[in-house]
Each structure stands twice: as C-alpha cells, then as structure tokens.
Amino acid sequence: MLNSELGVKDIVDNPKSIFYLLNQEEKDELQHHISLAHYKKNEFIFKEGDKPTGFLLLVDGKVKIFKEGVGGREQIVRMAKPLGVIGYRALFSDEIHNSSAVTLEESLVCTISPDFIFNRALKNSDFSFKIIRKLSKELGFSNSRTVTLTQKHIRGRLAESLLLLKDKYGFEHDGTTLRVYLSREDIANLSNMTTSNAIRTLSTFASEKVIAIDGRKIKILDANRLERVSKLG
C-alpha cells in the first residue's frame, strides 16, 4: 500500500536518500524545486524517446526500467525500489531516454528541477561523488547482466533473476515470499527468455522444492541451491 503521508521533508532527511548529503541551505532551497506525483500500477513514468523533465527519485512503490527490442519484446534492464533514482543518465548526458520506466504497483515519484541539480546540488562534492558512484555501480551491474543474459543457460538466468529480486526487495514477514509480484511475462523479460520458458523453468524449480509458487507469489525455499544454479549458469 502506498504511503501517501510521505513528503519533501521525509525525502531530504532520510539517511538513505541521496539528498541527505545536501547541506541545510541546499535542503531548504530544494523544497522550491521539487514536485510529487502519484502513479497508478502499470503507468509510464517516462518512455523511451522522451526528453528528461528533471531528476527523478522513487519515493514509494516499485518500478521496472526496460528497453523495447526486436518485435516490441521488452528486456527489463533494471528494477527500482523506494529512494532509488531513475532516468538520471539521460538528464546528465543531455540525451533522450533510451529506456522506459513503468510502475509495478501504485507509486510516488518526486521530480527535482534540472536547474537545481545543475546549478546547486552538483556543486556539493559529496552529492556529486554519490552520483558518480551510483552511475559506476549501475555500469558494473549492466556489464555483469550482459554476460549473464547472453552466456548462462535458462536455469541459471532465471535463478539469478529470482536472487536479484530477493536482494532488491527482500521478503515478506514470513521470510520466504518475495516482496514483489511479477507477471510471468515480466519474469521472462527480466531473464531474457520467452514467457513459456519462464513458466516451464519456474515449474521445474517448484518440483525440485527450490521455490514454491502461489499465483504471482514466489517463495524461495532453498536459497543456497538457487545460488548454486545461478553460479553454474
């Protein structure tokens, strides 16, 4: 459920937020350059080919970032969770978005004006270094995923995707159910395989007691075995 009570102060004063690195004067000024927008499930935040409108931060909810490939098939390249920044590569490179962002559930997104980011925030060395670090980590992740999605077999790709979802979103209170509910098509698009292959491989994992499936709910029963499958590829 979306936390509708979150406001600007929660965003800038949260130690996990990138804006926490701004000094108090910058935080005060930020409040004049920020806007909040609610998005419904399966709603586009931006589309491939759009011009960036600002620096985007996911306040609440879950978002997938994907590129459209041959025949309109999606390839999910990244997943975002609360306090994650999205779409900033295009803003900093002064290019159009080369991917699209869609909500996986009801979400809250804040937009910070480019003027504030370029004229004030980036003059803060701690903030600038954090941005560089995030871009570098994202590049490293993309490089690793390129190898995974092109060299691992289907079982290895799907196992890695499930572990990625575990690391990104964690578990529900039962300690085994992934805290994200993707369609089979999304799981396939995350793992670079057809939907039918994703369904078949999930069923195989379930028969092997590695996972349990209940609709879109997936429980990881044997994380160690899943990691072995992922490493073996």
pTM of the full predicted structure?
0.89
Confidence band of 13 (pLDDT split at 50, 70, 90): confident
pLDDT of residue 6: 55
Nearest C-alpha neighbor of 64 from the set 54, 72, 75, 55:
75
Q: What is the pLDDT of residues 22-47, one digit of tens each?
A: 999 999 899 899 999 999 999 999 99
Average pLDDT, the chain: 92
Are 18 and 29 within one domain? yes
Are 125 and 54 within one domain? yes
Are 59 and 125 within one domain? yes
| Residue partners of 216: CB distance under 8 A and separation at least 6 | 181, 182, 183
Q: Which residue has the tokens 């937009």?
A: 111
Are 41 and 112 within one domain? yes
Q: Say whether pLDDT at 201 is over 50.
A: yes
CATH number at residue 159: 1.10.10.10
Q: Say whether pLDDT at 107 is over 90.
A: yes
Are 125 and 34 within one domain? yes
CATH number at residue 85: 2.60.120.10
Domain count, the chain: 2
Q: Say whether pLDDT at 187 is over 90.
A: yes
Are 156 and 207 within one domain? yes
pLDDT of residue 7: 63
List the strands of the sheet with 107-112, edge to edge. 34-39, 107-112, 55-60, 85-86
d(CA 150, CA 81): 26
Q: Is the sign of the CA dihedral 5, 8, 14, 19 positive or negative?
A: positive
pLDDT of residue 11: 81
CB atoms within 10 A of CB 9: 10
| Best mean pLDDT range from 11-20, 134-143, 190-199 | 190-199
Are 13 and 73 within one domain? yes
Residue that is last in its domain, among 118, 149, 180: 149
Residue 2 lies in a domain: no
